[in-house]
Amino acid sequence: MCDYSLHAVASRPARVGETLVTTSFPGTLTRGFAAKEEPGAAVCLLPGTELAFEHEVRYNRNWLRTRSAGFCVARFCTLEPRPPEQHRDALAFPDGKTVLVNVLSEGQYARVVQLPVIRTGEHVNIRAIRAIGAAAEPEVVV
């Protein structure tokens, strides 16, 4: 998914095996993923995409403090924002904790391990494939 605030940034879908980096995008207040080789383009993830980070995932709890999620693996998901213009892209960790992508520390590398399966005959909104959204209600860290 490419969060609502990245609509003005060049983007493309993720590919299995590629290395992504957490980054901020110029002209936005949003962090997301970019390909190591294409730092200016947002890489959009489908909910269920599995990522393996080089190190334990770090996120900024507030401006001065960085925390570790305690895991090197995560599954991309989207949350139902309240209000709708809030960030919704998130990573779900094995312990059930969810961290918004927008609070991830910059400069972390992750490999796309697996994309979600879309069954043949399953109704798929093409627009949703380009900018996927799904709802989840786990514990959220913002």
> For position 112, what pLDDT does the model report?
96
- Amino acid at the residue 42: A
Strands 73-78 and 66-68: unpaired
Hunting for tokens 């599954």 — which residue is that?
75
Structural domains in the chain (count): 1
- Token pair of 120 as six digits: 């043949």
Please answer whether residues 80 and 138 qualify as being in contact, where contact means their C-beta atoms are separated by less than 8 angstroms: no
What range does the domain containing 91 cover?
4-141
- Token pair of 94 as six digits: 């094995």
What is the CB neighbour count within 10 angstroms for residue 20?
Answer: 22
Which residues are within 8 A (CB) of 116 and not within 5 positions of it... i.e. 6 or more apart? 46, 47, 48, 49
128 Ramachandran zone, left/alpha/beta (phi>0; psi -120 to 50) = alpha
| Of the candidates 47, 24, 44, 5, the residue with the CA atom closest to the CA atom of residue 104 | 24
Task: Name which residue leads in pLDDT, 141 or 109.
Answer: 109
Q: How confident is the model over 22-50, as a mean pLDDT?
A: 89
Answer yes or no: is pLDDT of 27 > 90. Answer: no
Answer yes or no: is pLDDT of 97 > 90. Answer: yes
Name the pLDDT band for 139 (thresholds 50, 70, 90): low
Hunting for tokens 């002209």 — which residue is that?
27
